[in-house]
């Protein structure tokens, strides 16, 4: 039996709406929001600025520092404010996803801070966060080789699907269960981030990666449009 998606989406269809906007935090050097389905992420960039604490300074190049944080009420069971193991890991994953495109050679001893907040969560928050962060970095005028676009693919029982929602990510248990594979790509097609939780064969994973790469192009177009339309909003 093939898996049929509860919300009626095709297997390779992302959730809607997908909304992207830049300039949402006037105080920041660059900022953006990214919504996919019911998941909403906002991101703000400050810098390049002096790195504190001093022992974290890198005299060779500037440092990208990402902080991912979920607002306490963004999920059903309230999260206690402050960093957790999960948020600490995702912060680092986000930095790794973006580092390959960010060019900070000319900013030794400095830091670019990217602050990400999830204001409403319904699976795929790290991907939404990375999408918002990439836009905010560009908006802040940070030198970048390319953009980064992020989406999850997954496997529900035996079926490969795109962009898991909360039910698919954490409630579905039939057959082989649910596999979640968040990935990020440059527009050039290179993979900058990959995680996987579940069970999958190598062939299926190859198929899933192709599906995610294709979807990342769609996300790129949405990010691009938002950045191009924002001229009037710059502080």
Which of 14, 20, 32, 43 contacts other proteins by CB under 8 A? Answer: 43
Stretch that binds other proteins, among 20-28, 152-160, 173-181, 207-215 (CB under 8 A): 20-28
Should residue 179 be labelled a site residue for other proteins when binding is judged by CB under 8 A?
no
Q: Return the SS3 of 201.
A: coil
Minimum CB distance to other proteins smaller for 93 or for 208: 93
H or E segment to which residue 167 belongs: helix 166-170
Contacts for 104 with CB less than 8 Å, ≥ 6 apart = 48, 61, 62, 63, 64, 110, 112, 142, 143
Which of 15, 35, 66, 69 contacts other proteins by CB under 8 A? Answer: 69
Residue 149: what are its φ and ψ, rounded to 5°? -130, 140
Minimum CB distance to other proteins smaller for 74 or for 94: 74
DSSP per-residue letters across 40-68: EEEEEEEEEEE-SSGGG--SSS-EEEEEE
Which of 4, 6, 78, 217 contacts other proteins by CB under 8 A? Answer: 78
H or E segment to which residue 180 belongs: strand 178-186
Should residue 191 be labelled a site residue for other proteins when binding is judged by CB under 8 A?
no
Residues that bind other proteins (CB under 8 A): 24-31, 38, 40, 42-44, 46-50, 67, 69, 71-78, 81, 101, 103, 107, 109-110, 113, 115-117, 119-122, 138-147, 186-188, 223-224, 227-228, 231-232, 234-235
């Amino acid at each position: 039996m093939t898996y049929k998606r509860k919300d009626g989406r095709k297997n390779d269809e992302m959730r809607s709406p997908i909304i992207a906007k830049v300039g949402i935090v006037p105080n920041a050097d660059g900022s953006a929001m990214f919504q996919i389905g019911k998941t909403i992420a906002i991101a703000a960039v400050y810098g390049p600025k002096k790195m504190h604490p001093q022992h974290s300074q890198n005299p060779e190049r500037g440092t990208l520092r990402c902080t991912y944080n979920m607002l306490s009420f963004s999920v059903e069971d309230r999260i206690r404010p402050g960093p957790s193991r999960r948020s600490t890991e995702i912060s680092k994953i986000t930095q790794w996803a973006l580092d390959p495109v960010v060019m900070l050679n000319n900013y030794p001893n400095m830091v670019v801070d990217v602050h990400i907040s999830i204001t409403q969560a319904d699976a795929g928050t790290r991907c939404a966060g990375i999408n918002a962060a990439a836009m905010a970095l560009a908006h802040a005028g940070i030198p970048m080789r390319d953009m980064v676009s992020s989406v999850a693919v997954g496997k529900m029982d035996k079926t490969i699907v795109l962009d898991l929602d909360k039910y698919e990510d954490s409630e579905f248990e039939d057959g082989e269960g649910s596999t979640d594979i968040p990935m990020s790509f440059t527009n050039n097609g290179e993979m900058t981030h990959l995680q996987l939780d579940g069970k999958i064969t190598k062939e299926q994973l190859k198929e899933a990666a192709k599906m995610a790469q294709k979807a990342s192009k769609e996300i790129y177009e949405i990010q691009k449009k938002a950045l191009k339309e924002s001229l009037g909003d710059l502080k």
